[in-house]
């Protein structure tokens, strides 16, 4: 970074999480904010209870393409990535608000089919759309806020040396699907469908919280990148054992077809919205979770004791 960038950095200079750090330094605090920015969701109190809340933004051309996905698929994906944030805190989503920007010539039927996708995905947890806003935009913009209940919100900052790491859900399929679609192909179907509509393990979040998970997050930018947030927030090192992973057959097929290491998709592909968490060594691995690594003193995330070559996952603004 040159001196001018240091004096007056752009968002691209800082990156997504550098910008978030600057924002966190400027926002205020009051007695109702039990947990502010920095986790998958915030934890807020009211006069008659508490709730968790999270927001996400999906942009046409960056998070979805209309020639790749139906409006129903896009609605389901927009709901899923927000519902997953609530699950990643150990909670269950109850309601969504949706901000929707669209060109004036977009058919009404397209928008209604997207809403049907939202409602169909929300049915997995019993949530519904309760409000939002609509405005004109050159491209489709979907801004979602999810709210829910969490008896014991699980943060990213609780991992301790001696804990083990485990995940629940799918890893690598959505990334392989994106790579497939980017090359103009439509198969293997399982990978392509995983990119169009992720399948978060919603029940696994409250399950992990219930057995005492020490930290947790969902995998949106890539397993290594998102575990990096846990390692940084907790002040620990995390090492993964590559031999514990089973590469899904469609991911292996895409890797072979494109001349890529299939483990790249598993370790660095995003948009699957699996959950990854740490648990005390005294805690039995919950049903539906797979143990993949260990927490130790130190910093950063390694694979088989060494730094992983290449990018750890998706980085906004880079």
Residue 287 belongs to some domain of the structure: yes
pLDDT of residue 247: 96
- Is residue 183 within 8 A of residue 54, CB to CB? The reply is no
Same domain, 65 and 120: yes
Same domain, 170 and 242: yes
Q: Sorting pLDDT into bands at 50, 70 and 90, what band is 286?
A: very high
What mean pLDDT comes out for the span 255-259? 95
pLDDT of residue 312: 63
What mean pLDDT comes out for the span 244-265? 96
Quote the DSSP letter at residue 64: B
Q: Residue 238 pLDDT > 90, yes or no?
A: yes
Between 312 and 254, the more confident residue is: 254
CATH of the domain at 130: 3.30.1330.10
3-class state of residue 192 by DSSP? helix
Same domain, 94 and 213: no
pLDDT of residue 313: 58
CA distance 294 to 273: 21
pLDDT of residue 34: 81
What mean pLDDT comes out for the span 130-157? 96
Annotated binding-site ranges for Mg(2+): 40, 54-56, 85, 133, 218, 221
The residues, ordered by sequence, that sit 6+ positions from 307 with a Cβ below 8 Å of its Cβ are 300
- pTM assigned to the model: 0.88
Same domain, 179 and 298: yes
Q: Sorting pLDDT into bands at 50, 70 and 90, what band is 317?
A: very low
Same domain, 168 and 268: yes
Same domain, 66 and 176: no
Annotated binding-site ranges for ATP: 132-133, 156, 220
Of 149, 175, 196, the position where a domain reaches its end is 149
Q: Residue 6 pLDDT > 90, yes or no?
A: no
Give the mean pLDDT of the chain.
Answer: 92
Of 88, 116, 149, the position where a domain reaches its end is 149
Q: Residue 72 pLDDT > 60, yes or no?
A: yes
Of 105, 124, 149, the position where a domain reaches its end is 149
Q: Residue 115 pLDDT > 80, yes or no?
A: yes
- Among candidate residues 226, 300, 302, the one with its CA nearest the CA of residue 270: 226
Q: Residue 1 pLDDT > 50, yes or no?
A: no
Between 317 and 301, the more confident residue is: 301
Annotated binding-site ranges for substrate: 63, 271
**Domain around 224:** 164-303
Residue 39 belongs to some domain of the structure: no
Q: Residue 5 pLDDT > 90, yes or no?
A: no
In the chain, the number of structural domains is 2
CA distance 140 to 142: 7
């Amino acid at each position: 970074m040159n001196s001018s960038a240091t004096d007056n950095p752009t968002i691209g200079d800082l990156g997504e999480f550098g910008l978030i750090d600057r924002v966190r330094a400027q926002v205020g605090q009051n007695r109702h904010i039990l947990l502010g920015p920095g986790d998958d969701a915030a934890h807020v109190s009211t006069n008659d209870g508490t709730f968790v809340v999270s927001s996400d933004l999906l942009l046409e051309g960056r998070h979805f393409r209309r020639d790749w996905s139906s409006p129903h698929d896009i609605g389901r994906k927009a709901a899923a990535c927000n519902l997953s944030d609530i699950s990643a805190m150990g909670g269950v989503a109850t309601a969504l608000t949706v901000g929707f920007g669209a060109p004036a010539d977009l058919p009404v039927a397209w928008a209604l089919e997207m809403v049907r996708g939202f409602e169909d995905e929300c049915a997995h947890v019993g949530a519904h759309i309760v409000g939002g806003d609509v405005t004109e935009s050159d491209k489709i913009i979907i801004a979602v806020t999810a709210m829910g209940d969490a008896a014991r919100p699980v943060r990213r900052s609780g991992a301790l040396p001696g804990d083990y790491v485990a995940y629940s859900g799918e890893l690598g399929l959505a990334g392989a699907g994106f790579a497939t679609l980017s090359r103009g192909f439509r198969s293997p179907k399982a990978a392509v469908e995983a990119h169009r509509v992720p399948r978060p393990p919603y029940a696994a979040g409250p399950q992990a919280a219930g057995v005492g998970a020490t930290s947790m997050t969902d995998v949106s930018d890539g397993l290594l990148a998102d575990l990096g947030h846990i390692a940084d927030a907790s002040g620990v090192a995390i090492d993964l054992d590559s031999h514990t992973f089973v590469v899904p057959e469609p991911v292996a097929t895409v890797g072979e077809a494109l001349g890529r290491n299939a483990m790249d998709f598993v370790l660095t592909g995003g948009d699957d919205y699996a959950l990854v968490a740490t648990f005390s060594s005294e805690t039995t691995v919950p049903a539906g979770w797979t143990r993949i690594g260990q927490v130790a003193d130190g910093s950063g995330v390694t694979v088989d004791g060494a730094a992983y070559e290449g990018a750890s996952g998706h980085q906004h603004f880079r």
